[in-house]
A and B are shown apart, each in its own frame.
Chain A
Amino acid sequence: MEPNTRSTGRLPAAFLTPGSSSFMDFLGAHAPEMLPGNRRLPEGIVEAPHGTTIVAVTFPGGVVLAGDRRATMGNMIAQRDIEKVFPADEYSAVGIAGTAGLAVEMVKLFQLELEHFEKVEGATLSLEGKANRLSTMIRSNLGMAMQGLAVVPLFAGYDEAKEKGRIFSYDVTGGRSEEHGYAATGSGSIFARGSMKKLYRPDLSEEQATTLVVQALYDAADDDSATGGPDLYRHIYPIVTVITDEGFRRLDEDESQELARKVTDRRLQEPDGPRAALL
C-alpha cells in the first residue's frame, strides 16, 4: 500500500480500514517515514536552536503555563521572539524546552493526535490519556536525545473530571510525573523553581498566578544566560497562557505587557524581587 495522498484519486484501502483512533498509529501503518521517531539518525552532533525555560503553576480553578521567548544556539541568541507555549487542545497546553525544531514538530503531531482522536471517537481523551500520549512521543525521540537533540516538554491542563488544573513534567526518556503546585523545565528551570518555591501558595488567584510565573521567568533570566527576560525595548514579553474550565486562553499583547511592566517596575526598586519571610 503506497501512500496516495497527493493524487485526488480513490481513498487508499488503509484509509477505509477500521482501526485505531490514533493518528500516530495510522501514520505508523500507512506512512511510517513521516513519523519523527522513524527517521534514520545521522552520525555526529548537530547544532540547533534550543528553547529554554517553561514554568507552570496551578491555582484553584485552573493552571497557568508560561515561557520566555529566547532560543539559543551555543552562546548565541538564535531567536528573540520564539513561541514555546502552544495549546494542545481546548483544555490543555504544552510548553517545550530543548531542541526547538524537533519540539515544534512534536507539538504539531501531538495536537493532531488529540484532535484526530476527538474527531474519530466523538469524545476527548482524559487528561491522563493526553499526558501518556505525550510520554510515548518523547520516548520515540530518545535516539535523537542521545545525540543532544532532546525535547523536554511541560504539559498542563484542566482536568474536567477532577475539576482542577494539573501539571505533568517529563524527562528525556518519556518518564512522566505529576507535579503539584508548580513546575519548571529547561535551562533556567533551577532558578525559576527556586523563585516559585518562595512565592507559591495554594490559594493564589488567577491574576496572582500569572504574576508569579512572570516573576519566576524574570528570576530565571536573571541567572541563566540562555533565558530571555521581558524585552521592553522590542516589546517582546513572555507568553502566558491560562487554562480553566472555560478552556485555553493566551494573554494578549496588552495583558502580557502590563504584567511584564509591573514586575520590571518593582525590580527597579528591588532587583532581587519579592522577599519571603525568614521564618
Chain B
Amino acid sequence: MSTPFYVSPQQAMADRAEYARKGIARGRSLVVLQYADGIVFVGENPSRALHKFSEIYDRIGFAAAGKYNEYENLRIGGVRYADLRGYTYDRDDVTARGLANVYAQTLGTIFSSAGEKPYEVELVVAEVGATAAGDQIYRLPHDGSIVDEHGSVAVGGNAEQISTYLDQRHQDGMSLPDALKLAVQALSSQANGADKAIPAERLEVAVLDRTRSQQRKFKRIRGRQLARLLEADVPAAVQADAVSNDEASEDDAE
C-alpha cells in the first residue's frame, strides 16, 4: 500500500485558493456602487437571460462573478432562505447581514472541506437602507470570508485594479447617471492600459432604488432607459455637476 504524499495544511489551502481565484478570474468583473438614491450594479454581460445580478428580497440584491452554475445555485439558495425567513417571521426580519452570514458559512464550509471542490465564485450582497447611511454592501470571496464595504466594490478578474480606479473617483451622493458612467469607465479600463468601450447592449445594469414606491426596491435598467442614462445629454446642470465632480475627484487622486 502506497503512502500518500504529505501536503501541509497551508499548502493545501493555498492550492485551493489559487484554484478558486483562477476560476473567478476567467469571468468578467462587475462593480457595485452607492449613489444618492440607492445602490447600482453594473457589469458586462452579453447574455440577456443569464443574469449576474438579481433580486433576493425587498431591499436586498445579489451580484456574482465566477462560475455561473455555482453562483446560480447560491442565488436560489438565498432566495429560498429569504422567502422562508420572511414567511416564518416578518419581511423586516430578512436582512443582508443575515444572508451574508449564511453565504459566508456555506462558502467557508465548502472551501475548507477537503472532499468538496471549492466554489469559483465571488459574491456581493447589498441592502439599500432608508438613507445612504443605512446602505450595506458585503463582499464574499470564494473562501467564505466576509468584507463590509462602503461606497464602491468590484469583484471578478480585474477586481483589484477596478477597485483602485473606483476608490479614487467614487464619491458619496453621486447621481445615478454619474455613478453609472463611472462604473462603465472603471470596467472599460483594462489591465494592459488600453481602454475598450463597452456598448450599452452588452451592459447589465440593475438598481436597488430606495425612492421606489413599491416594497420591492430591485429594478433592472435596460433598453431605452439605460441608453438615456448613458447618454451625455443629461440636463446641463447635472452635466456641469458631473464635470466638476470629475475634476474634484481627480484632484483628490493626485
Residue numbers of A with Cβ under 8 A of B are 5, 8-11, 15-16, 18, 23, 26-27, 30-31, 34, 90, 108-109, 112, 115-116, 119-120, 122
Contacts and interface: CB of A to CB of B under 8 A. Distances in A.
B55 interface: yes
Given A11-B74, A112-B87, 18 more contacts: A10-B105, A11-B105, A11-B106, A15-B76, A15-B77, A16-B77, A16-B106, A18-B73, A23-B83, A23-B87, A26-B84, A31-B84, A34-B87, A34-B88, A108-B87, A115-B83, A119-B55, A122-B54
Given A8-B105, A10-B106, A119 B79 contact: yes
Contact of B81 (A11, A108, A109, A112): A11
A5 B74 contact: no
B87 A109 contact: yes
Given A16-B73, A112-B87, A8 B98 contact: yes
Contacts of B98: 8
A100 B148 CA distance: 43
Interface of B: 49, 51, 54-56, 73-74, 76-81, 83-88, 98, 101-103, 105-106, 109, 214, 216
Decide if the interface of chain B is mainly helix, strand, loop or mixed: helix
Nearest to B69: A18
Given A10-B109, A109-B87, A122 B101 contact: no
A119 B73 contact: no
B101 A8 contact: yes
A9 B84 CA distance: 15
B67 to A, nearest CB: 14
A26 B106 contact: no
B88 A5 contact: yes
B101 A112 contact: no
Contact of A9 (B74, B77, B85, B105): B105
A90 B214 CA distance: 9
Contacts of A30: 80, 84
B84 to A, nearest CB: 5
Contacts of A115: 83, 216
Contact of B74 (A16, A31, A112): A16
Contact of A120 (B49, B79, B101, B106): B79
Contacts of B79: 116, 119-120
Decide if the interface of chain A is mainly helix, strand, loop or mixed: helix
A23 B76 CA distance: 11
B88 to A, nearest CB: 6
B161 to A, nearest CB: 31
Nearest to A14: B80
Nearest to B74: A16
A15 B81 contact: yes
Given A15-B77, A16-B74, A122-B54, A5 B85 contact: yes
Contacts of B84: 5, 26-27, 30-31
B105 A15 contact: no
6 contacts: A16-B106, A18-B73, A30-B80, A34-B88, A116-B79, A119-B54
A2 to B, nearest CB: 13
Contacts of B51: 122
Contacts of B76: 15-16, 18, 120
Contacts of B77: 11, 15-16
Closest 8 CB pairs between A and B? Answer: A15-B77, A8-B101, A10-B105, A11-B77, A16-B77, A10-B106, A11-B106, A10-B109
A26 B55 CA distance: 18
Nearest to A116: B83
B49 A8 contact: no
Nearest to A16: B77
A267 B118 CA distance: 73
